[in-house]
Amino acid sequence: MSKDNPFDPSEIVIHHFPDRSMRRLLQDPDYVRCLVEIIEPDLVGHLDFSRGSQQNRSFISNALRERESDVLLRVPFRETSESEEVLIYILIEHQSSTDPAMGYRMLSYMVKIWEDQCREWPSGPGGSRRLSPILPVVFYTGEQRWASPVSLTAVMDIPEVLERFVPRFDTLFLDVKTTDGDILTKPRHPFGWLLRVLQEENAGTSQLREVLATAVSELSRLDASQVSQVQEVLLYFILLILHRRSDAEREELIELVKQHSRDESEVGIMAQTAAELLVEQGKAEGIMEGKAEGIVEGKREAVLRFLQFRFQDIPEMLTERIASIESLSDLDTLFEQAMRAQSLDDIQI
């Protein structure tokens, strides 16, 4: 960063991009609508994403959490009663290598969802005992091309005569890195441009610059009703730059985002705050528990400054609540809330 910016994330070695940012975005039904439209456009017209809701369930074990995360949403069918709906289960696969056992893993998670529904069935006679259909989605961001089918037979040595006894189900699959860029951006949704830039996260500087400039310019032309989503995507670009690119590139790439966005000053504050939070997080990772009070305090101040930039006057009660937060993770979540909030009433602590 420049000499005018005291927060220098180049001093911190970052090993993992914050994948929870992708999970957070896909908890929004409108982003999921865009994802489904990219993979299977014919399905979108049958589902009412405006009435979609996140379900707070996760079936990922601690052993697998570094390589993937998941999202579960409940989305009603269009022009039907409220009881008719589909569960959309999204498995976000981060690792560069592919997994032939994906079909088995996906089926096991689907069965756990149905088991939860079975536990809610009425115990007496006459009650409705129905399972919701599940739309499984694999969202893969790795560099290696995914060649294995998402099926149970991929992990079985089975003669053809017995294949009909193996459970079969379709899975929506998006290999972000190998999908044609025009397909990703066709829905004209901010999420599509996020995926287009994500494709080039490891590309050379000139190639990333070209795609990033195009993406931010296109975002600036979108309808004003999408402003909050545009802000989210711009924040994702900044985090991508800070985590994935070398310290020699960061200032130049962030300056490019500022130049092509609608509000250069807001992006500047966003970038400085994200850099500061990143430095504090990096320091915290090397400090023993019980000795990180100063790191937490630094994050509190950074979050409060960003809220003051966006909403000017911050009520004393909210300031006191922020001062009471002791968790670094909770402060990260609060910063992400501040990006999405249309007013201070949207801030939940």
- pLDDT tens readout for residues 175-192: 999 999 999 999 999 999
pLDDT at 300: 83
- The answer to whether residues 76 and 48 touch, using CB atoms and an 8 Å cutoff, is yes
pLDDT at 4: 43
pLDDT at 279: 65
- The answer to whether residues 231 and 340 touch, using CB atoms and an 8 Å cutoff, is yes
pLDDT at 10: 38
Q: What is the rounded distance in angstroms from the CA atom of residue 181 to the CA atom of residue 195?
A: 8
3-class DSSP state of 230:
helix
Q: Which residues contact 27 (CB under 8 A, 6 or more apart)?
A: 54, 71, 73
Ranges under pLDDT 50 in the chain: 1-16, 18, 286-290
Q: What is the rounded distance in angstroms from the CA atom of residue 139 to the CA atom of residue 106?
A: 12
Give the DSSP per-residue string, 236-265: HHHHHHHHHS-HHHHHHHHHHHHHHSS-HH
CB count, 10 Å around CB of 252?
12
Dihedrals phi, psi of 288, to nearest 5 degrees: -65, 150
Question: What does pTM read for this prediction?
Answer: 0.79
pLDDT at 283: 55
